[in-house]
């Protein structure tokens, strides 16, 4: 049986064997509670602080500015709810293309009196700084815009947005779960106050994340208890997971530059091969301002067949994702991200997300380029597809940068 090809790294990444080896002692012999004063506890505490240093190093931050959380979603919740504290009201700005961890938290805050403005995205999937200028007010307390979108892979202008927020006296948070460890993010160069990250997106373990809190920024906890993590995230620390996150950060820091160049090469190889073999394919989102290993593809006139295509690829040994939702239970619904970019409901339901990672090879890409055109050819013919009756014009979708 041929090896399966995993091209869904935006969903999760396989655990790097080096990360697993670093974690193993803390799953067995070194089992102490980091809050205990005896030797076993001190060993666990030492491991947690070493990992904190590695996360900080990758961000160019101080270790004291890193808080460990249970995952990226919790880090987002802590950033937004913690920054607003117990006070209700005020104004928060986010974007229409954020991860549900941010959007649902904002919806929760609205129930308690906070006013929320959602910035639009343009046809390339970018949140434009001028939209923030138009939306910001004297009462704006927090701006939250992600570093890279999980559906399109498009990199947002975080530095410019953060600077605008700072000039208007608002805090700036970015959900960097997709971007962290893949592109440089140095807090000394961008005036970001809060950054959410997750281990399992950079070949670390599931169930652990972190929040960067710039020195001087005050937040309140959302989990109360024994006072761990400076009283801002109570609960006995997941020592093995934290060690895994630290090791994943160390490896990312060492290999980021060469790995990014390699993934861009593989990504462009896929894009060139797909556009040559499948005439109606188009790229969704900015053509090059995107994560190194991330592609979001549409198939003009065949968007309604995307789930069929995904399942056919799975049967052929290729794991990819629909771009329509973060959850498989919503895979048949239009993507709110793509609709926010101006795609109609048919197109917003029909993208294919192909995301590369550390262990993908040129052989994987070659096999994928053999399998995908055959699978796409079995979808309903473009000429008879109902998308055309919904307004798709002949020839649309032929450009590499996708529909207008």
Distance, in Å, from the CA atom of 52 to the CA atom of 210, rounded to the nearest integer, reads 9
> Distance (Å, rounded) from C-alpha 260 to C-alpha 155?
14
Does the active-site annotation cover 249?
A: no
Query: Which entry of 106, 249, 296, 326 is annotated as an active-site residue?
Result: 326
* Sheet with 209-213, edge to edge strand ranges: 66-69, 209-213, 194-198, 171-175, 140-144, 91-95, 115-119
Dihedral of the alpha carbons of 336, 340, 346, 350, in degrees to the nearest 10: -60
User: Residue 250's Cα: distance from chain center in Å?
Assistant: 19
Residue carrying the six token digits 């809050």: 35
Contact 236, 208 (CB under 8 A): no
Among candidate residues 181, 186, 182, the one with its CA nearest the CA of residue 162? 186
For residue 382, which of 369, 371, 397 has the smallest C-alpha distance? Answer: 397
Interatomic CA distance for residues 161 and 132, integer angstroms: 7
The tokens for 160 are 């410019």
Q: At what angle do helices 362-377 and 306-315 cross, to 10 degrees?
A: 130
Q: What is the DSSP string of 228-283?
A: TGGGTS-S---HHHHHHHHHHHHHHHHHHHHHHHHHHHHHHHHHHHHHHH-TTEEE
18 to each of 24, 245, 250, how far by Cα in Å? 10, 11, 11
Contact 295, 354 (CB under 8 A): yes
In angstroms, the CA 142 to CA 80 distance is 8
Q: List active site positions.
A: 326
């Amino acid at each position: 049986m041929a090896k399966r090809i995993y091209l869904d790294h935006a969903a999760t990444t396989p655990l790097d064997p080096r990360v697993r080896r670093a974690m193993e002692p803390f799953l067995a012999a070194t089992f102490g509670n980091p809050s205990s004063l005896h030797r076993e506890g001190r060993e666990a505490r030492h491991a947690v602080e070493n990992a904190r240093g590695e996360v900080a190093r990758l961000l160019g931050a101080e270790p004291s500015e890193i808080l460990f959380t249970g995952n990226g979603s919790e880090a987002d919740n802590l950033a937004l709810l913690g920054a607003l504290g117990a006070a209700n009201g005020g104004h928060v700005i986010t974007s229409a293309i954020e991860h549900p961890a941010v959007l649902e938290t904002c919806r929760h805050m609205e129930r308690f009196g906070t006013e929320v403005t959602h910035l639009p995205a343009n046809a390339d999937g970018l949140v434009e700084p001028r939209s923030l200028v138009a939306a910001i007010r004297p009462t704006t307390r927090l701006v939250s815009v992600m570093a890279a979108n999980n559906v399109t892979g498009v990199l947002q202008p975080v530095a410019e947005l953060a600077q605008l927020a700072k000039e208007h006296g608002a805090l700036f948070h970015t959900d960097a779960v997709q971007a962290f460890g893949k592109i440089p993010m140095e807090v000394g160069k961008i005036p970001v106050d809060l950054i959410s990250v997750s281990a399992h997106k950079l070949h670390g373990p599931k169930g652990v994340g972190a929040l960067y809190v710039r020195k001087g920024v005050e937040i309140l906890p959302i989990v109360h208890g024994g006072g761990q993590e400076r009283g801002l995230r109570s609960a006995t620390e997941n020592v093995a997971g934290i060690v895994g996150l630290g090791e994943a950060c160390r490896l990312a820091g060492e290999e980021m530059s060469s790995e990014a160049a390699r993934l861009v090469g593989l990504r462009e190889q896929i894009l060139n091969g797909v556009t040559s073999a499948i005439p109606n394919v188009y790229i969704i989102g900015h053509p090059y301002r995107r994560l190194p290993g991330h592609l979001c593809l549409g198939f003009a006139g065949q968007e309604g067949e995307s789930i069929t295509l995904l399942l056919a690829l799975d049967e052929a040994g290729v794991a990819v994702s629909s771009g329509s939702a973060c959850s498989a239970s919503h895979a048949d619904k239009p993507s709110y991200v793509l609709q926010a970019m101006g795609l109609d409901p048919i197109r917003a339901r029909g993208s294919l997300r192909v995301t590369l990672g550390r262990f993908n090879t040129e052989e994987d890409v070659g096999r994928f380029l053999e399998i995908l055109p055959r699978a796409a050819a079995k979808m309903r013919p473009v000429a008879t597809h109902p998308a055309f009756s919904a307004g798709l014009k002949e020839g649309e979708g032929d450009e590499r940068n996708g529909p207008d």
